[in-house]
Amino acid sequence: MKDGMTKKALLVVDDDVEWTDLLRVFFSNKYAVSVANHADQAIEAIRREAPHVIILDLIMPSVDGFGLMHRMKDILPKTVPTVLTTGWGGSDLKESAESVGCVAVLSKPVSLTELETLVSSLMDGSYNGGSQIGPETSVNAARNTGIDNRNYER
Q: At 32, is the pLDDT very low, low, confident or very high (cuts 50, 70, 90)?
A: very high
Domain ranges of the chain: 9-149
* Global pTM value: 0.81
CB-based contacts of 60, cutoff 8 Å, min separation 6: 13, 14, 15, 38, 39, 68
Q: At 55, is the pLDDT very low, low, confident or very high (cuts 50, 70, 90)?
A: very high
CA dist., res. 59 & res. 104, Å (int): 16
Q: Does domain 9-149 correspond to CATH entry 3.40.190.10?
A: no
The pLDDT value recorded for residue 67 is: 92
Q: pLDDT, tens digit, for every residue of 106-116? A: 999 999 999 99
DSSP class of residue 91 equals T
CA dist., res. 151 & res. 131, Å (int): 24
DSSP class of residue 150 equals G
Radius of gyration of the chain, Cα coordinates, nearest whole angstrom = 15
